[in-house]
Structures are given as structure tokens and as C-alpha cells.
Structure 1
Amino acid sequence: MARPITIDQPISRPRRQRTVVLDQVPAILASAGALFLAKGYSGVSIDALIEATGGSKRDLYSVFGSKEALFKQVVATLCRDRIATLRLALTDDGNPVSALRSASETALRLVLENETLALHRLLVAEGSRLPEIAVQFLEQGPAAAYGVFAEILRKCDQRDRREEDYDALGQLFIDSLTGELQLRALLGEIITEDEILRKVQIATTVFLAVLKPVD
């Protein structure tokens, strides 16, 4: 026969506890992300994650399953947030040319953010040990951005091209827009505002001349 619960005996509420933990996931991801970006994947221990997130080892494993799974979710969140910011930059005035210019400036600024540069360095360093997460980063970060610009360039174009042509144009555009400045920033150089605006002007002017959009 089950022992009756007395008035001073705590009542277990596992569902409520799990709900509280799940509600804390965004904060956990933010704290863990800051730690990974600062110290690298290999330089962060489970104990350090617990201290940074303010949870417990049990909570961490019950929600994410492992340190690698937590890192994977951190990368996914960072990529998703940047693509969402990029899409917010698209103008809604129906003019694809202004959309291209607005999105170009936003994309370049996102790429040059300290947090984005740290993420890039981290994935380059850890990619060979965590190939699945490296592929995830490429798909949810750069490839997703290529898709956004392929869509914009299609709207700027007066010609009837194949779908894969626009995919290639989106990739070429992003690479020409960000490549040089991103590399210099990754090597520690400070990129000026004038350089950002000039790069946006050059990249958009060249591609719009090829596409001959309706302005």
C-alpha cells in the first residue's frame, strides 16, 4: 500500500519542472553561445556550461542530451537569427533594386559583426572534429543567405533564366560583396564605414548592370 503524503512532505511536479527548464532554453543558448564563442568548443567543459547557464547537469542533459547537441543548437540559433535579420532588411515597397541595396548593406554588416566573426573562426577550428555541425553551419548560414539573394536577383532580372542560374548568382553576389572585407576582418583588421558603403555600391552596381532591372 502506498504511503500517504503528509502535509509537510514535498509534492513532486516533474511536468512543471520540465516546463520551467524549457522556458529557460533561450537564455541557456545565449549563455552557452557566449562561452563557446569566447573559448571554443574544446575549451568549454560541462561544468563551465552549468556555471554559465545557472542550471544543473541533469537539466542540461535532459533538454539537450549532450554538449555537442547543445553546441549544434547554439550554431543553429546564431544562423537563424542572422538570416531573420537579413530578411527584415528587405524593403516592402515592391522595388527589387532598393531591396538588393538594403539587404546588401545588412548582410555585410552582419558578416563583419564580432559575434559572426567569432562563429566563423570557431567553425573553421572545429569543423574537422564536428563535420555534421560544420555542414549545418554552411546550410543554415551562408547557403541560406545565398538563397535570399538569389530570390532578390531573380526579381531584378528581366531575363528568363534557369533556377540554378539564380542560385549561382546569389552565391557569386554574396562572395563578391563579403569576401575581401570578411577575410581582412577575420585577420583582425578594422573595417571602416566608408569601406562598407563603397563595397555595397560596387557590388550592387555591377550585378544590376548585368541583370538590367526595371528601376
Structure 2
Amino acid sequence: MGELIGYVRVSKADGSQVLDLQKDALLHAGVGDQMIYEDFASGKTGDRPGLDACLKALRSGDTLAVWKLDRLGRDLHHLVNTVDNLSKRGIGFRVLSGQTTIDTSTAQGKLMFGIFASLAEFERELIRERTIAGLVSARARGRVGGRKATMTAAKIRLAQAAVGKPETVVADLCRELGISRQTLYRFVGPDGVLRENGRKALGGL
């Protein structure tokens, strides 16, 4: 059977009495005094060494216990991903008080754990869909990977040969090369003469 490990967090606004309440609740639940990790910071602070150490100490079969759900996550995004990570690692989770009490040794607690996992998966799918949509939009504007397309040596040579010719429509040339007019003129002048950036890209020629 795994260890029962506790985590407490208190901010200046909470006061020391809240830390005592958290510790008393954890001790009453069976967490050993030496198995409680602490942080003294705002929930919005990214640097939480106590939580980092706690999560590293947990092993499969262990259970993490907190006083209330808001002690664990600095925001909903962080909370959902932390709980989902615990689930994937085979670590139990208990919330001892508050409106949302959880104990993954019970059927209801397992259901709550599953909801957190579903929320995390839902968020990952949303991010994936947005990323794909962004890449498609970027490609439609002549960009790849969400970044402006860069000039290659081949593109510079083509631009140098075409720019300044009576038959060349600059807008069409830029569309074919997948670059903006601004990018074109950083490398090749309106008369087809290489600019400094163009010479550097071609090895100083």
C-alpha cells in the first residue's frame, strides 16, 4: 500500500491560522507530520517549490491529500493538468473539505478523477484544433508554421532575375515565392539589384 502525502499552501492573505487548519485536517486524515509539503505563496505564483517537491516524491500507489481544491491549483488550467497527471501516474487524490470533496478510493471520487482527465483531454484537443487552424490560415497567407516565409538562395536568384523587368508584376512574384513585398525588398531592390541582406544570404556575392 502506498504512502499518504499531504500538501498545504498559505498566502499572506490567509494568515497562519489557515495553515494550522490545513495541517490539522491532513494529520486527522492520517498524513504523517513528516509527509506534509508546504508553500508560502499566492496561488497565482508560478514558483512553488513545495508542490514541485511533493509531486516528485509521489509514486504509483501513493495518494495526495489537500485540505481544499484551491490549495492545489493556481488556476483551473493548472489544476486540471495536475490532477490529470496524477491519474496517469497511478496516484490517488483526496480533497478533505470544501464544496468539492474527492476521494479516489470511492466510486464518486473515481468519477471526479475521470472528469478532470476528460477536461484535460478536451483542452488538448482545443489547442490542437486551434494550432491546425492557425497553420492552415498561415499557409493560405504564404507562411509555413505560423511564421513569415524566409528567403532562400533560390528565391533570391529568381527575384533578382525577375524584379525590374517590364513583364514582372511584383504582387504575382511575391505570391509565387510565398513572401511579402516587404520581405522581397529587404533582399532585392526594385531595380533587381541585390541589397545587403541578399548579398549576405548568397555568401557575400
Higher relative contact order (CA 8 A, sep 6+): 1
| TM score, norm. by length of structure 1 | 0.23
Q: Which has the higher helix share?
A: 1
Q: TM (normalized to structure 2)? A: 0.24
Higher Cα Rg, which structure: 2
